[in-house]
């Protein structure tokens, strides 16, 4: 095992990966959950809540009554108001899959009501608002899990484990490739917050998850080459971001809103002893070998298909968190850090300069790279 892996494992143990049961709902065996947001991602999460043997979907909240009723009716649960959920002592946890601008308020209200909180990223698109939220829940940060689901992807998790085992020695260069099959609708672009906040933010978190130390500088370049609607919205659809740590390690992130061949999600880690790579899982493992050549299937076309297992596994982790079995692998501080990198990347893009990242203490993160699934 390399020095990095040994240090990380020591950090995992000291972080209390197997802690005593939490105090906010004792020894209850079933976690009762209220879902905020009945849209596409909310539906995926609802399916996972219902499928898990130790969680129960109790209520659905959505600002669109028809959407709430549709999802609640599918699973035979009640439609509720936010106020009713926060006042209900039988609700152990809230799952936030509502629009981004509602997240910070719901986190604060959920923690204040004594609930465990599972929140889709981001805490907020504003770093100042995200920091204000974390300040308001100080002392109860362990109740918040931020859903950077890619940490739970079996391919990427295996990559991290093999890095920790010292298989490629000291990590020197991480390359993260993330491309959408095609641009999202124009109305989505207008409210997405921009490429760095909507798409690259996952890659910022993954870079932090795989690098041995925190990014210290950011250099970003980007263009609008794919969709005129993106340009009209003042956004970019093609980008390259280089992160450099204080020790000189590098992460290079490449993004595009168009691949043409499927959802392209690959990671390569080069170390002092060799290289590890996580390739695109194909839609089918069937391989055709003929005189014309050897062919295999394309990658998945949709992120919900590519990362379906990760959503299921992150929910299982959250159930363990609410029962006090583990600490959250991804904390609010990790969300703050990814948002900080997005802010610096945008400033770098606009200025054309390589910029320093504000100082950060990894120990302030309750999960971060030191967590253990």
Summarised one tens digit per residue, pLDDT across range 85-123 is 999 999 999 999 999 889 999 999 999 999 999 999 999
Bridge partner residues of 244 (DSSP): 217, 250
Pairing of strands 144-147, 116-120: parallel
pTM of the model: 0.85
Class of domain 151-310+326-370: alpha beta
pLDDT at residue 188 is higher than 90: no
| Nearest alpha carbon to residue 340 among 117, 190, 122 | 122
CATH 3.40.50.720 domain span(s) along the chain: 14-148
Altogether, the residues listed in the chain come to a count of: 373
Are 224 and 183 in contact, with CB atoms under 8 Å apart? Answer: no
> Average pLDDT for residues 192-221, to the nearest whole number?
95
Half-sphere exposure of 49 toward its Cβ, with a 13 Å CA cutoff?
A: 29
Tell me, what's the pLDDT at 29? 67
| Nearest alpha carbon to residue 336 among 123, 150, 116, 21 | 123
Q: What is the mean pLDDT of the chain?
A: 88
80 to each of 33, 52, 101, 118, how far by Cα in Å? Answer: 12, 22, 20, 18
In angstroms, the CA 240 to CA 247 distance is: 21
- The model's pLDDT over 243-286, given as tens digits with 9 standing for 90+, comes to 999 999 999 999 999 998 888 999 999 999 999 999 988 887 78
- The model's pLDDT over 277-331, given as tens digits with 9 standing for 90+, comes to 999 888 877 888 889 888 877 877 877 788 899 999 999 999 999 998 888 899 9
- The model's pLDDT over 28-57, given as tens digits with 9 standing for 90+, comes to 568 999 999 999 999 999 999 999 999 999
Homologous superfamily in CATH for domain 14-148: NAD(P)-binding Rossmann-like Domain (3.40.50.720)
In angstroms, the CA 197 to CA 188 distance is: 13
Give the model's confidence band at 203: pLDDT under 50 very low, under 70 low, under 90 confident, else very high.
Answer: very high
285 to each of 21, 110, 246, 293, 296, how far by Cα in Å? Answer: 42, 43, 41, 16, 7
Pairing of strands 144-147, 171-179: unpaired
CATH 3.30.360.10 domain span(s) along the chain: 151-310+326-370
Are 56 and 31 in contact, with CB atoms under 8 Å apart? Answer: yes
In angstroms, the CA 258 to CA 9 distance is: 38
97 to each of 10, 14, 121, 363, how far by Cα in Å? Answer: 34, 32, 9, 28
């Amino acid at each position: 095992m390399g020095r990095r892996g040994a240090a990380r494992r020591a950090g995992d143990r000291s972080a209390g990966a197997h802690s005593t049961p939490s105090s906010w709902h004792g020894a209850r065996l079933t976690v009762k959950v209220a879902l905020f947001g009945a849209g596409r991602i909310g539906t995926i999460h609802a399916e996972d809540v219902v499928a898990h043997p130790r969680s129960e979907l109790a209520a659905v909240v959505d600002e669109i009554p028809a959407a709430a009723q549709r999802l609640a009716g599918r699973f035979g649960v009640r439609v509720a108001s936010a106020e009713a959920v926060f006042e209900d002592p039988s609700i152990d946890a809230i799952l936030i899959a509502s629009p981004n601008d509602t997240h910070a308020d719901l986190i604060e209200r959920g923690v204040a009501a004594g609930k465990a909180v599972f929140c889709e990223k981001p805490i907020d698109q504003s770093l100042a608002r995200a920091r204000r939220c974390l300040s308001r829940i100080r002392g109860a940060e362990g109740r918040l899990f931020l859903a950077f689901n890619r940490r739970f992807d079996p391919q990427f998790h295996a990559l991290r484990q093999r890095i920790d085992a010292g298989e490629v020695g000291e990590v020197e260069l991480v390359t993260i490739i993330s491309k959408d099959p095609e641009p999202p609708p124009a109305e989505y672009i207008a409210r997405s917050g921009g490429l760095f906040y909507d798409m690259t933010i996952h890659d910022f978190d993954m870079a932090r998850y795989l690098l041995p130390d925190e990014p210290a500088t950011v250099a970003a370049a980007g263009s609008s080459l794919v969709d005129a609607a993106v340009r009209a919205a003042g956004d970019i659809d093609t980008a390259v971001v280089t992160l450099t740590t204080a020790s000189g390690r590098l992460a290079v992130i490449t993004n595009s809103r168009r691949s043409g061949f499927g959802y392209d999600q690959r990671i390569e880690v080069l170390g002092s002893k060799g290289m590890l790579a996580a390739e695109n899982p194909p839609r089918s493992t069937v391989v055709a070998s003929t005189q014309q050549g050897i062919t295999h299937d394309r990658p998945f076309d949709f992120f919900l298909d590519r990362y379906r297992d990760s959503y299921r596994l992150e929910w299982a982790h959250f159930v363990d968190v609410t029962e006090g079995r583990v600490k959250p692998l991804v904390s609010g501080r990790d969300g703050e850090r990814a948002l900080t990198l997005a802010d610096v990347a945008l400033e770098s893009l606009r200025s054309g300069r390589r910029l320093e990242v504000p100082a950060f203490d990894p120990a302030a993160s309750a999960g971060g790279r030191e967590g253990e699934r």
